[in-house]
Amino acid sequence: MDIGETEKIEFKDAFGTNVSIEEVVAQIIEFSKAAPQYKYEVVVGTDSEAVNDRKSDLVTAIVVRRVGNGGRYFWRRFSGGPFHTLRNRIIEEVMTSLRAAQAVLKAMSEALTGTAMIFHFEVHADIGEEGQTKEMIQEVTGMIRAHNLDFCVKPNSYAASSVADKHV
């Protein structure tokens, strides 16, 4: 199922309760209204793990961070096909994050129509300057930039490398 089909996709909150994309956005807005003096970031990231030679698990995290004062997150696990290469795995993670980001942005746009609320939005990729993924940084960040989104890589890509990773 494509993550862009928001009416059918459910995430879990940190307590394991199922919530739709629209409910995720409503909770993000409610969280930000509780302390409007702060700046807020909404971040999407995906991590994955090969289960066997035919199946993998992917976890996408949506994080709202109250800069300097905590945050909340939502996550979704689903099965994917096999990863034949590291490049294949990273591209699938980024494409999954981009689909989730588009769904969240669409729901936020609808929910925030007529308001002055502003969120910084970015996609976190589970790649970095160290290790095997360093050769992919330009390709991956170019994919994210092509969608007019800001990005972050390791060691600062906490949505992918910490939050989503926690649920893989």
The reply to whether 102 falls in a domain is yes
The reply to whether 57 falls in a domain is yes
Using CA atoms, how far apart are residues 73 and 118, in angstroms rounded to an integer?
18
Whether the pLDDT of residue 6 is over 80: the answer is: no
- The number of folded domains in the chain is 1
| pTM for the structure as a whole | 0.91
- Residue pLDDT, tens place only, 40-76: 999 999 999 988 878 899 999 999 999 999 999 999 9
Beta bridge partners of 123: 44, 151
The reply to whether 1 falls in a domain is no
User: What average pLDDT does the structure give for the chain?
Assistant: 91
Whether the pLDDT of residue 84 is over 80: the answer is: yes
Domain ranges, residue 93: 10-167
Q: Give the tokens for residue 63.
A: 């994080």
Beta bridge partners of 13: 74
Pair type for strands 71-80 and 10-13: antiparallel
Instruction: Report, as an integer, the average pLDDT of 110-126.
Output: 91
The reply to whether 142 falls in a domain is yes
Using CA atoms, how far apart are residues 97 and 114, in angstroms rounded to an integer?
27
The reply to whether 36 falls in a domain is yes
- Residue pLDDT, tens place only, 90-108: 999 999 999 999 999 999 9
Whether the pLDDT of residue 2 is over 60: the answer is: no
The reply to whether 3 falls in a domain is no
The reply to whether 76 falls in a domain is yes
The reply to whether 5 falls in a domain is no
